[in-house]
Amino acid sequence: MLTTIKNNLLFLKKKFLKQKRNIFYNKFLSNDYGDSRGTPITRFYIQHFFLNLNHFDWGNCLEFEDNRYIDHFGKNVTKYNTFKFSNEYNDKDNLIFGDLTKISLLPKERFDFIVCTNVLNFIFDFESAIKGIYKMLKKDGKCIITVDGPSSHISRYDMDRWGDYWRFTNLSAKKVFERSNFKIEQSTVYGNPYACSAQLNGFSIQDIDQSKLFPSDKDYQLLIALYLTKKYSF
């Protein structure tokens, strides 16, 4: 194990030196998860999760902020909506502006499938937000939830605008969603020493050896991905 970690760190150090940087200095290639350089490692893991899902019809869908995963991975989508965060509620055409924690304002049992990637980390009252997702799902509706794990650093962009509050382990995520009356169909931990080192120092997928992102190590949890089904009654 120690040999593997040392080899991974040596690889990253060489990568930095090519960029005329030193991995042990307090300097980074980027502080935005590598987004300014290419595809962030956590986004790569999310894509992997979608690619390995069992096939099912998505039907009427909802995704937060944009429709990137509905567009790329949706199966038999009949309609889609985008949820944009706002203090003022407005539900028009294919756009919903609102606050997930203001549950009474949210539409009831409208969607067959909800995609919520890396959102709950940035909502202080995340348990109310989960109840909001539950309310919007139809009976037996499905959702994909991803959250940053404890090995993920703070998002300065989000912290300066609305806050960066939480990190989840696979155990805490499991307990939170089961308590919120969801059935966990699939739960996957992503991350290992190599992936964590790369993300902390601002590498994107394009900068690294992607083959070293697997297998995952549950002691280095960078991302937790869950496929959930709504239970109809508490």
Contact of 99 with 86, CB cutoff 8 Å: yes
Q: Which helix (H) or strand (E) holds 160?
A: helix 156-161
pLDDT of the residue at 36: 82
Look at residue 30 in the predicted model and tell me its pLDDT: 74
Domains of the chain: 30-230 (3.40.50.150)
Which pLDDT does position 54 carry in this prediction?
84
pLDDT tens by residue, 9-31: 566 656 555 554 444 445 567 77
Percent of the chain clearing pLDDT 90 (strictly above): 76
Residue 132: CB partners within 8 Å, gap ≥ 6? 100, 101, 102, 103, 106
Q: Rounded to an integer, what distance in angstroms lies between the CA atom of residue 114 and that of residue 135?
A: 11
pTM: 0.87
Residue ranges of the chain whose pLDDT lies below 50: 20-25, 234
pLDDT in tens, 59-79: 999 999 999 999 999 999 999
- In 3D space, the residue among 216, 159, 164 whose CA is nearest the CA of residue 190 turns out to be 216
pLDDT of residue 18: 55
Length reported for the chain: 234
Strand boundaries in 129-222, DSSP class E: 137-148, 182-190
